[in-house]
Structure 1
Amino acid sequence: MKKFIVLFVAVMAMFATTAKAQSSLLATLNHEGTISTFYGSNALIQAHAAAADGDVITLSSGTFQSVNIKKAVTLRGAGMVLDAATQTEPTVLANEFTIDIPDETTQRLTVEGIYTNQTVNINKLKNAMFLKDRFREIYFSGSSYGKDLTFIHCRITEGYNGNSDSNNSAVFQNCLVRNMGGRNYIFTNCLFLAETNSSNSHCANSEYRNCIILNSSSINTTSTYYNNLYCKSYANVNFNVTNNTNVEVAKDNEAIKNLFGYSDDNEYKLTEAAKALIKGTDGTEVGIYGGNLPYDPTPTNPQISKFNVAAKTTADGKLSVDIEVKSAE
């Protein structure tokens, strides 16, 4: 159930007319209870420049110019998909960007409800959380690292190119992921994407639980596997593990046909035939709709769903702003 909060704000304007205020793109910055607003495609850049660690930046729907994130803020978008019920469009970051948070920072970076079809480069990052985001690629250079990262209900459509540095570690919960690289991961109720003619390699020192692994090329002997549904890329691929709780299915089986390939519009729901093949360790279905956090792309935090700004100020220098904020209950 969603709740709508409508705010009508009269604010002092510095000019008789304000071109920025008429834009359909809006970012708000909450700094210690004081709200600032920024308009236009550069609104995120401006909000980040004015922010401090621990602040909250909220973005409306629409396409924003990206910013290199160097502060441990909470960044909230309107979502990574079109919400058909409310006709709320996603928040899109248009350009490649880098995340580089100093190690001494005590605040946590949180990113929720963002869509980007660009590469996100990570230099240094610890204890960050990504919720209900859609990324094309997350890339780590040879000396970079991401430690104790959490991804929940995310889509990583092209690759998570982690390196073998022991500082890297992450938890993936009910996520769609492709081309995983690196080590020290925990995957729970994830779907490992693949085309019908490509393979999925496996990460070292990791745990795979209640996942669907399409076109597995082989297991990693340093990792553990529990109640996964998998298919092999080739008949001679070895998927022997120390327990017998995993179930193999032929990759041409009609039960999993709809899981191959990637589309933003595909919900990747299991057929009843696929559900019958195996249950997770908790008795629910394997894949992204199982477990205690079934996949749902709708952001949990309030989002700016609509705002209207008067074309000009009143005679006494005030500008009328009508903002609608949507929150989930």
Structure 2
Amino acid sequence: MNTAIPASRDNARFDPHGLIIGQGEFTYRVNTQWNKMTASQLPIENCHDLAFDSQGRIIMVSDHPQNNIIIYNKDGKLIDAWGGQFPGAHAIKINHENGEDFLYVVDCGWVINRQWTPTNGLERVIPQTGFIAKLTLTGQVVYTISHPQTIGVYQPNQAFRPTDIAIADNGDLYITDGYGSDYVLQYDSNGQFIRYWGGHDNLDTRLNLQNTHGIAIDKRLVSSSHTDASPTLLISSRAEHALKQYSLSGDYLNTISVPGAYIGGPVFKGEHFFAPVCWSHINGTNADNSGFISVFDKHNQVVANLGGAQPEYVNGELQPMHTSWDVFRHCHGLCIDDDDNIYVGQWNANQSFPIQLVRV
């Protein structure tokens, strides 16, 4: 493990039942044994993302060529595993439409190199074009969204490697091309293109997105009875250590700076949202095995870092955040149950299964 910062237990403690992490009201007991399987029983590569369906089951996407979709009950018991058609499975959303759940799977286009060995010098993963698929819960394909060059939006030499998707109440889809050309693309509920914005070469740098890794729709003001409020998009610009806010039609609104944190897309819970941090910025680089989870309040200020150092504001400015080396390697995706417990999937974590954080 990287030791650029000495191991610190200032933000973690042990009790008879295990490690407690977090700060303030956001403290959690770490349950590394939530999953009842091992990698030898159920091969996985990266646990990229998780979501609840309407039956209370947790559905996870993995980029292993044998198991793309893995379904658990809330107690960590395996229900089903299937799929090899998403070699770059990276994100999942579940949307309830006309009485039925549908899976939206984002394949980012990074695939395991079948020729790779630890000694032959080849890259372990190789890039290709990604895509998005809408599926039934049993895996039947409804439609797919492919490279935007097929509809004249991208040039053939522009990379399309999508990373995440958000779904509005009217069914519109918002897709981040975070490993490709850094645009956000909007489609209607039938997969018909509407508009796009972003990219990483705008003269107005506020409009740029750099490794736009995650996206979600923020309805908190609407839910709190602000009659003139509208939902907005909250989008990670991970390489800029920032989250950027846009209208649903792509107008730039605001930037939330999170210095030191390579932050992913938000997951909303009540007035708060939780965002996985893949790396901490330490000694001038994104340090391996330095992930944590940031918790933001209704004012978009960080109130806790789970597995990270306590957030600090000086004169209203958030100070650089980093891991406290307690639990995680690279936090990538998460979901939250009705009891406020968190289920965390990780990238590049030795084929480890999700970790459960039990709210204390």
- TM > 0.5 between the two? no
Structure of greater Rg: 1
- What TM-score results when the alignment is normalised by the length of structure 2? 0.28
Q: If the length of structure 1 is used for normalisation, what is the TM-score?
A: 0.30
